[in-house]
Amino acid sequence: MTIGMRLVPVNRQARDIVIALVLGAAGFLLNMLEFQLGWGLHFIFGNALIFAFIRALRPQSLMLAASVSSLRSVFLWKHPWAWLIWTIEAGFIAYLSRKKASPVRVDVLFWVLIGTPLLIISYGMVMDMDRLSLLLVIAKQATNGVLNVVLGEIIYLAALSLKAPGQRSDWPKMPIESFLMSLLLAIILIPTTAYLYIDAPSREQAARARVEDALQKRLQITGAIVGTWVQSRADVLGMFVDGQLAFSKAGADGLPESLGREFAGASVVDKTGATLWATASSGIPHSALQKLASEYAGSGKRVHLAAIRGDGKTSEQRPVLVIPFEAIGRPAAIIAPLRQGALQRLLSETDGQAAQDTFLTHDFAHFLPLSQADPASVRNLQGIPESVRRSALNSNLVISNVAYGNAIMSDLRDARMVRASAVAGLPDWAVFSVSSLAPEVLKGREGQLHLFTALCTFALLVALFASFLSKRTELSFRQLAQSAADLAVLGTRREKIDSLVVAELNEISGKIASAGSTVSRERGALASYQRRLDSIAKHAPIIVYALDVRDHKKAELTYVSEALETILGYSRGEAATAGWWSHAIHPEDYDRCLAVFGNLQAGRVVEAEYRLRHKLGHYVWVYDTLAVEANSAPGQCEAVGVVIDISDRKAAAEQLMQADKMASLGRMISGTAHELNQPLNFIKVAATNLREHARRGRLDADRFIARLDNILSHVNRASAIILQMRVFGRIPRETPSPVDLKATVDAVLTMVTPQLELDGTRVDTSECGSGVKVRALAILLEQVFLNLILNANDAIRARHNAGDPKEGCIKVSVARREWLARVTIEDNGIGLSSDILPLIFEPFFTTKLPKEGTGLGLSISYGIVRDLGGTIRAENTPQGARFTIDLPLAE
């Protein structure tokens, strides 16, 4: 084919036709090597070559090739039906297989649906084949057809496997279904066929031998009976005629009863032709008698059985016994024609079976049936050339009447085996016996029919099984291929392993190979990514860690970055020991952090700020955030977290808070100074007076003591004012505890009242409910309220400065709202302009002049409230502004 394709590259259609013709011719030649399977059955394999090109040729070309190749059957079997059916078969497979169906399955389908009906019509109805042979032909043709497709598939597989890699990549690979079917069917069909090929001739030979054996026996028995009978009748007739002649009887009495049954009569004729004695007419013309007498009369001659033509009524040969005889010293012959059926009667009385289809023949020219013979078979015998007939004496002769075509199938069914043997005492005569081969052939064919039916059933089952199996396998393969494809990155160059001939395996292998290269590339990328990540983790000022989560709690630490040592001083190994975290955490922060990290749910991100003890002993403020993700294992989670050293920020925040407090103090300084100046003034004036009285000698002890008491009380008053200012001097160190909000508000008001009074601002605390408690540090809450009240006062002053003399009023309320504590601080100041409203909680945002504010107050208040789990928001009211703080109630 390679040559053909190279020679004719020009026009595709022309090229295809040429290829098809070359292929067909090759198939034809291959078909010449037929396989004899006995009893006239042939397997021919030329079409296997054609079927090997199902995937390579166009359907029309394939059909053309098959029709050329199948022409051999016309020459072999001398009828066109096999050729027609095989051509249709090739077309059927070629067209249906294009839709990815397995050719083997299509062929099985063909023989079930089309091939069998066509065979029944052509062989059965047109050629009138007998039922057994027809069934056998159907089974055999179907088997041959399927085997050819299977062989074709195997040739194609071999071609796929053997072709040089890279060449003919357009040849499609074989689907797993075809592969399985071809393999299974090849396993059973090829050995069976080979066995039949080897076994059939010997079986046929054995059958022939059996027939021959029977023939031989029949011949021996028949020959012996005939020989003996002729001799004995010759003797009996001789004795009888002797007696008749001795009494000079004219013969009118006729033959005695025992002879009369067998012979129609007897004549004694001398050599000259004169009748010496005769019974009544024996029905033989006198001329014939004379002729026989002249030939056989005289001593020294042997008893002879002649066959003469009847007296005209029938054209049948009549056997006549001629016995050389000495009558009255003259050589004569007793001539006794046998009665009709005498010989047959003779044989049927002795051994009827042996006489079947057995003939006596004189000089192999005439046949005398020794039994009731079928005239047709006699005609058949006479149709055989004499020389051939004679050869039956030495060897078996097979004859057949050819009723339909010259097919050996048909010949054999009607074949007869012929054998002849000489008859003792009758040199010119031979016993000629015919035996039909049909019983043996039928027996053999029955066996073959069983075999081929079994093969067909097997092929059908294999087709079904392989279809089913391959569907399942194909599905599995497709899933495998899908998995492999999933592994491979989209757009990866498709790798191929050319030696794999099964399409699905080829596809999977390609995808696995692609996946393999993808995986190795990804592994490289991953390694470099890992290196980069390690480097980042090592040098970043943060601790990256990963841990398993069990029962929603932190479990084993699976990874921790090297920054741990830089930030906290511990080695990775130390941090990995169980309980490290619980021991390192600041006792005050432990409960709070346990609440945060003690309920880790998949999909959540938790965070906390707490202190961890450095290996050297001091505490480091850290921000720890942990993202929890579901693990592949059910019920388990893993978490990746980051720990950041926030000591600096904490310190800065503390400083900022302090700065804010100082700013608040500055904002209250005039009020506070006034408040302090009052007692100081009293002390100064009173002390001055006492000194003056003392200088003048007016030392009235009672008056002195009373005035000193007054002085001391004013000292106490000053101290109390300073004491109220404690918020400005302290950094919060105590732990949160339930704090009464009203008490906190009151404490703040005590501090700010002097300033508010100074500014003429009234405070309304009528809606401050008592007993509303939140868990917090009182000092931090005071800072928040202080900021807000001072801001309110500033807003009122700003309105006053703008020329609006309306009395300033700050309304503070404390109330319980469901699970929240709510504090509102409202003023009737200038309010918040809408453009600054979103910015007011930003650090360093301020509307005040540089000396008047830091811009930290609201930002710090926001931070404090947020840390307590609350919210703070600002809004404008018709009068001014309102700040609302919601805090979780303390249980």
**Residues binding another protein (CB under 8 A):** 669-670, 673-678, 680-686, 688-689, 692-693, 696, 707, 710, 714, 757-758
Cα distance between residue 213 and residue 203, in whole Å = 15
Is the four-CA dihedral 96, 101, 103, 109 of positive or negative sign? Answer: negative
Cβ proximity to another protein: between 583 and 684 the closer is 684
- What is the SS3 assignment for 298? coil
The least CB distance from residue 806 to another protein, in Å, is 17
CA distances from 203 to 38, 99, 175, 400, 684 (A): 8, 44, 41, 20, 152
Pick from 609, 617, 568: which is nearest to 589 by CA? 609
Considering the complex, state which of residue 623 and residue 682 has its C-beta at the smaller distance from another protein. 682
CA 150/CA 346 separation, integer angstroms: 61
CA separation for the pair 128, 460 (Å, rounded):
27
Residue nearer to another protein on the CB measure, 724 or 744: 724
Token pair in block for residue 552: 């929603």
Smallest gap from residue 726 Cβ to another protein (A): 22
Task: Tell me how far, at minimum, the Cβ of 834 lies from another protein, in Å.
Answer: 31
Q: DSSP letters of 171-194?
A: SPPBPHHHHHHHHHHHHHHHHHHH
- Beta carbon of residue 717, minimum distance to another protein (angstroms, whole number): 10
By beta-carbon proximity to another protein, the closer residue of 668 and 747 is 668
The pair of three-digit structure tokens given for residue 849, joined into one six-digit string: 């002049």
Min separation Cβ 848 and another protein, Å: 16
Residue closer to another protein by CB (options 431, 683) is 683
CA 891 to chain CA centroid, Å, is 64
- State the minimum distance, in angstroms, from the CB of residue 764 to another protein: 18
52: left (phi over 0), alpha (psi -120 to 50) or beta: alpha
Q: How far apart are alpha carbons 295 and 320 in whole angstroms?
A: 13
Where on the phi/psi map is residue 300: left (φ > 0), alpha (ψ -120 to 50), or beta?
A: left
Supply the minimum distance, in Å, between the C-beta of residue 693 and another protein: 7
Backbone angles phi, psi at 648, to 5 degrees: -60, -45
Phi, psi (deg, nearest 5) at residue 382? -70, -20
Q: Which CB sits closer to another protein, 187 or 706?
A: 706
Nearest residue (CB) to another protein, 424 versus 673: 673
Give CA–CA dist 467/775, Å, rounded.
76
State how far the Cα of 360 lies from the Cα of 430, in Å rounded to an integer: 6
Strand partners, 317: 309
| Residues 796, 803 contacting (CB under 8 angstroms) | no
**What gap in Å lies between CA 56 and CA 594, rounded to an integer?**
74
**Contact by Cβ (8 Å): 675, 721:** yes
Minimum gap (Å) between residue 704 Cβ and another protein:
12
**What backbone torsions phi and psi does residue 877 show, to the nearest 5 degrees?**
-120, 170
CB of 757 to another protein, least distance (A): 8
Q: Which is closer to another protein, CB of 521 or CB of 674? A: 674
Taking the complex as a whole, how short is the minimal distance between the CB of residue 816 and another protein, in angstroms?
35
Q: Which residue has the tokens 């399977």?
A: 37
CB of 676 to another protein, least distance (A): 8
CB of 749 to another protein, least distance (A): 18
In the complex, the smallest distance separating the C-beta of residue 804 from another protein, rounded to whole angstroms, is 17
Residue closer to another protein (CB basis): 13 or 670: 670
Closest separation between CB of residue 714 and another protein, Å?
8
- In sequence order, the 6+-apart residues with CB closer than 8 A to the CB of 286 are 275
Q: Which residues pair with 54 in a beta bridge?
A: none
Among candidate residues 94, 47, 92, the one with its CA nearest the CA of residue 67 = 47
Whether 195 and 522 have beta carbons less than 8 Å apart is answered as no
Q: Which is nearer to another protein, 714 or 811 (CB)?
A: 714
Nearer to another protein, 363 or 692 (CB): 692
Comparison of 472 and 674: residue with beta carbon closer to another protein: 674
Helix (H) or strand (E) holding 303: none
Q: Which is nearer to another protein, 685 or 839 (CB)?
A: 685
Q: Which is nearer to another protein, 204 or 675 (CB)?
A: 675
Cβ atoms 532, 501 nearer than 8 A:
no
Nearer to another protein among residue 527 and residue 669 (C-beta): 669
Q: How far is the CB of 735 from another protein (least distance, A)?
A: 39
Q: How many CB atoms lie within 10 A of CB 526?
A: 12
Question: Cα separation of 678 and 683, whole Å?
Answer: 9
User: Cβ closer to another protein: 651 or 706?
Assistant: 706
Supply the minimum distance, in Å, between the C-beta of residue 791 and another protein.
19
The three-state secondary structure class of 346 is: helix
User: Smallest gap, in angstroms, from Cβ of residue 880 to another protein?
Assistant: 23
Which secondary structure element, helix H or strand E, spans residue 568, and what is its range? Answer: helix 563-568
**Pairwise CA distance, residues 110 & 669, whole Å:** 111
CB of 783 to another protein, least distance (A): 23
> Measured from the CB atom, is 162 or 701 closer to another protein?
701
Q: Which of 759, 882, 760, 764 is nearest to 832 (CA)?
A: 882
Q: Among residues 37 and 756, whose Cβ is nearest to another protein?
A: 756
For residue 833, with 0-12 CB atoms within 10 Å meaning exposed, 13-18 middle and 19 or more buried, which class applies? exposed
- For residue 230, give every residue at least 6 positions away whose Cβ sits within 8 Å of its Cβ, in sequence order, or none: 303, 305, 321, 423, 425, 426
Alpha-carbon distance 544 to 559, whole Å? Answer: 8
Contact 106, 96 (CB under 8 A): yes
Nearest to 552 by CA among 611, 612, 624, 604: 604
Instruction: Yes or no: say if 411 and 387 are a contact pair by the CB < 8 Å rule.
Output: no
